[in-house]
Amino acid sequence: MKTYETTLILSPILPEADWETKVSKYEGIITANQGEIKRKEIWGIRRMGYTIRGREQGYYVHFQYQSPGELPRELERNFLLDEDILRYLTVLVPASTPSRPEALPAKGVENAPSI
Amino acid sequence: MPRRFDRDEERRGERGERMERGAPRGPISKKSCRYCGSRFESIDYKNERQMRKAISDRGKILPRRITGNCAKHQRQVALAVKYARHLALLPFVAEAHR
């Protein structure tokens, strides 16, 4: 199981109820494929850095979830079919690595796990 | 566009002497990587304010010779800027230059 982050940009011209149904639809896909949603953020309508399909604004939604590796592919297949999604990005969240060398167990420590 | 110095010139600059070419300049301060110092500031493509600091007013990724970032963090910053551009959090080209 790995942690992924997906951000979606939905079309800003949808009625408000449609945003909610779409968000819950994708939440449903995550949970139906053994994914576990860790964080869900609705950033709402934002001005975009450039126009996408003629739109200057987008409705941003962000998820962080833990799932098997097949789920991001399945999710993105659904995103491609959805014409109201202007853009999406899935990023693998790196497993937290010790930032400083002293956080690593010292070599030759007695209770170090044997390989 | 900032001028590029070769190493020799830069060393002269640090001693506070005049550059060989161009206008007189103060001593060049030694820059340090912004992300190495603090353990808490992680590079995040979603953090728009942080990403804005990594690009020029044209929207280009600032090079290491300007920011002073270390190679490891510069790679991470460059990737984060590219993610942010994909999500239209940042422009590819600044509006004024389009």
Examine the domain organization and report whether B50 and B79 are in the same domain: yes
User: Is 90 exceeded by the pLDDT of residue B82?
Assistant: yes
Same domain? B89 vs B52:
yes
pLDDT of A75-115, one tens digit each? 999 999 999 999 999 999 887 654 444 444 444 444 544 44
CA distance B37 to B80: 19
Do B35 and B57 have their domain in common?
yes
Domain boundaries, chain A: 2-95
Any residues with CB less than 8 A from the CB of A90 and at least 6 apart, and which? A4, A5, A6, A72, A75, A76
pLDDT digits 0-9 by tens, A9-44: 999 998 888 899 999 999 999 999 999 999 999 998
Kindly report the CATH number assigned to the domain that includes residue B43.
Answer: 4.10.640.10
What is the second-level CATH architecture of the domain A2-95? 2-Layer Sandwich (3.30)
pLDDT tens sequence across B13-64: 444 445 556 666 666 666 688 888 766 568 889 988 889 989 999 999 999 9
pTM of the model: 0.73
Is the minimum CB–CB distance between A64 and chain B shorter than 8 Å?
A: no
From the list A65, A68, A69, A45, the residue with the least C-alpha distance to A57 is A45
User: Which residues constitute the domain of residue B44?
Assistant: 31-97
The DSSP letter of residue B95 is G
Per the structure, the count of domains in chain B is 2
ipTM: 0.77
Q: In this complex, which of B46, B83, B89 lies closest to A49 when CB atoms are compared?
A: B89
Q: CB distance from A87 to chain B under 8 Å?
A: yes
Q: Average pLDDT, stretch B71-79? A: 92
- 């604004």: which residue's tokens? A57
Residue B49 and residue B88 in one domain: yes
CB A62 within 8 A of CB A40: yes
Amino acid at A83: E
**Ramachandran quadrant class, A101 (left: phi over 0; alpha: psi -120 to 50; beta: rest):** alpha
Provide the shortest C-alpha distance from residue A111 to chain B (in Å): 28
What is residue B16's three-state secondary structure? coil
Question: Is the Cβ of B86 closer than 8 Å to some Cβ of chain A?
Answer: yes
- Tell me, yes or no, whether B37 and B70 share the same domain: yes
**B10 lies in the same domain as B35:** no
Q: Kindly state whether B83 is in contact with chain A, defined as any CB-CB distance less than 8 angstroms.
A: yes
